[in-house]
Amino acid sequence: MLELYIGNKNYSSWSMRPGVLLRQAGIEFKEVLVRFDGFSADSVFKNKILALNPSGKVPVLVHDGLVVWDSLAISEYVAEQFPEKKLWPQDRAARARARSICSDMHSGFMGLRSACPMNIEAHLPEVGALALRDNAALRADLTRLCTLWSSLLAEHGGPLLFGDFSVADAYFAPVVMRLKTYALPVPADVAAYMDRVCALPGVKAWTDGALAEQDFIPIEEPFRLHR
């Protein structure tokens, strides 16, 4: 059976991506939570994850003795192992486009990611408003993101980015969480897409788990002193 090692569901955007992908696709797997207690070399988290992979980061997938790390590599591996799930679009051009935007999210949108760290449980509209006012990189990323989603929804007719659920929707699910936590303004078609993503069983299972953690980790909370 697949084993997926993840960090705290409330904070770990990278863990959320394969977690949502596997759950939404109906693929059986065992979930192993490794709580964030710190990221120094002597932390419990680092020691547990370094025993699995040299990056010392989550997520990590273990399957029949093979260890795969990095959320995009995991997504590609799962799509190859379960071709019947059609986790990438079937059309060649759409598939290339989906891979491109996932890679873009993987290495880009740093303004959004740094200004608005994922925190599913929190509601921080005041922080979002100030960040949007003062952070040009965040404004640029939000505009680019909304343009991207709107164009894909129009091109493929929804309800998701490439019509049916794909790796791309799992990959942008943590971004949806960020936009909601910080109440960043988006056009109506994007807001409707975000609602549809939140209603996906795989996403709902993840967010329910995040809310149930009841865990406050100061190193992950730049904007609050307590839960």
133 is in which domain, residue-wise? 92-208
Instruction: Please give the Cα distance from 215 to 227 (Å, whole number).
Output: 8
Copy the structure tokens of residue 160.
Answer: 């998701």
Residue 39, pLDDT above cutoff 90: no
Quick: pLDDT tens for 189-202: 999 999 999 999 99
Quick: pLDDT tens for 104-130: 999 999 999 999 999 999 999 999 999
Do 113 and 197 belong to one domain? yes
* 66 three-class SS: strand
Do 123 and 195 belong to one domain? yes
pLDDT at residue number 208: 98
Amino acid occupying residue 49: I
State the alpha helices, DSSP H only, in the chain.
13-25, 44-50, 71-81, 92-107, 110-115, 125-134, 136-156, 167-181, 188-199, 201-213
Do 105 and 64 belong to one domain? no
pTM for the predicted model, two decimal places: 0.96
* 115 three-class SS: helix
Do 96 and 187 belong to one domain? yes
Residue 9, pLDDT above cutoff 90: yes
Give the chain's mean pLDDT: 97
Quick: pLDDT tens for 145-195: 999 999 999 999 999 999 999 999 999 999 999 999 999 999 999 999 999
Q: Is residue 226 part of a domain?
A: no
pLDDT at residue number 199: 98
Query: What's the first-to-final CA gap in the chain, in angstroms?
Result: 36
User: What pairs with residue 122 in β-bridges?
Assistant: none
Do 71 and 129 belong to one domain? no
Check if the beta carbon of residue 213 is closer than 8 Å to that of residue 8. yes
Do 174 and 108 belong to one domain? yes
Q: Is residue 225 part of a domain?
A: no
Do 47 and 123 belong to one domain? no
Q: Is residue 20 part of a domain?
A: yes
Instruction: Please give the Cα distance from 110 to 116 (Å, whole number).
Output: 10
Do 116 and 145 belong to one domain? yes
